[in-house]
Amino acid sequence: MNNSPTVLEIDLSSIEHNLNFFRSELNPETKILAVVKASGYGSDAVLMAKALEKLKVDYFAVAYTDEGIALRNSGISTPILVLHPQLQNLETICRYNLEPNLYSRRMLEGFLKIAHDKGLDNYPVHLKFNTGLNRLGFDASDIDFVCKNLMEQSVVHVKSIFSHLVASEDEEEKEFSLAQIEKFKSICSSFTSRLGYRPIRHMSNTSGILNYPETHFDMVRLGLGLYGFTNLIEKNANLKNVLTLKTVISQIHQLKKGESVGYNRGFHAKRNIKTATLPLGHADGFFRSLGNGKTYVSIHGHKSPVIGNVCMDMIMIDVTDIPCKEGDEVIIFNSREDILQMADHADSISYEILTAWGNRVKRVLK
């Protein structure tokens, strides 16, 4: 049971709104794969998947096997792609009817052996090809090897072939992105002609959907956009914020000029001030780099700077000029702009701010 006063609110109506916006950017026949890895980008993967399943998304994607198992155990029946399976988990993947991304010769041979041993029939698998990210994926030179292993067998069926854009949000890398797209098209064409059928093709992430419509192909992968973030200011206006992080004031202190706050006396009062202590810290996902005035929170519409070093379980804020009392609500963020501001203050990105919040932060539906 989680009795934490620090709460991450998830607005499912905003998720639906954002999903519908991206649907409006696609052809009706283009499928949508909703990416719910990393606890649904820090929200709650099960809550997200249940809501999105009702909204008829075509696929889910998770990073690791245990994330897919959690969805299956919660009753999710929509197909689930495991993006980064490990060899030792392939049998478990089959047991839970998950679909592995076979991204290397080792993974392909390993899964084919398991499929033969288990007597599987046309089990859905996915193949990732590396077109420039150099992270996971077969090279174009592996096509002969892949097709040789897949032809004249019926234990697996290639459900999709995919790749990943490197810099779809960066206009300065457009030439590189276009070269990636052409390389992927060539791989798909060669693969399809040799295999004898055409799997689902997908390459677009959120920014790819908006910036490179030629990469919509048969399916797109939608992750960060579900939470209201794109790299295009004019498109952001069409999206809604999904997440609100809030907590309460645990205690208020009156400090005299010269007194300090927190570990290593990270803050010294230059006048008589009033401080408030909040029940969240770097163990919850509030970065230590955000202490000592690097960012702020809001109380009753007033901005309050974080002072002193961030503790494991607590932060302290300056509320000298803010009318407030112990137990009052404090907003850590409740807008896209707040999240981007926090990311900027931490010299980070929105992804890291969204996914940082640990299990001690209670998730609730708004």
For 242-291, the pLDDT digits (tens) are 999 999 999 999 999 999 999 999 999 999 999 999 999 999 999 999 99
**Token digits of residue 70:** 């959690």
CA distances in angstroms from 222 to 104, 187, 294, listed in the order given: 24, 23, 32
**Residue 257 in 3-state DSSP?**
coil
Q: Which of the following is catalytic: 37, 123, 128, 296?
A: 37
pLDDT band at 234 (very low <50, low <70, confident <90, very high): confident
Fold of 12-231: TIM Barrel (3.20.20)
Burial class (CB in 10 A: 0-12, 13-18, 19+), 90: buried
**pLDDT at 70 (0 to 100):** 98
**Token digits of residue 287:** 């970065």
> What digits encode the pLDDT tens for the residues 312-347?
999 999 999 999 999 999 999 999 999 999 999 999
**pLDDT at 312 (0 to 100):** 98
**pLDDT at 232 (0 to 100):** 82
Q: Which of the following is catalytic: 54, 257, 263, 303?
A: 263
User: 2-6, 69-73, 305-309: which range is least confident on average?
Assistant: 2-6
Burial class (CB in 10 A: 0-12, 13-18, 19+), 322: middle
Judge whether 37 counts as a catalytic residue: yes
**pLDDT at 336 (0 to 100):** 94
- Where in the chain are the domains? 12-231, 243-365
> What's the CATH number for 243-365?
2.40.37.10
Angle between helices 143-150 and 174-195 (to 10 degrees): 30
pLDDT band at 236 (very low <50, low <70, confident <90, very high): confident
Judge whether 212 counts as a catalytic residue: no
Position 235 pLDDT exceeds 90: no
**pLDDT at 116 (0 to 100):** 97
Going through 181-327 in order, the beta strands assigned E by DSSP cover 200-202, 219-222, 243-248, 251-255, 260-261, 267-268, 273-278, 296-299, 302-307, 315-318
Determine the Cα angle at 27 with ends 21 and 28, to 5°: 85
CA–CA dist 128, 162 (Å, integer): 5
Position 231 pLDDT exceeds 90: no
pLDDT band at 348 (very low <50, low <70, confident <90, very high): very high
What is the residue whose two structure tokens read 């990636």?
180
CB contact at 8 A, 77 and 49: no
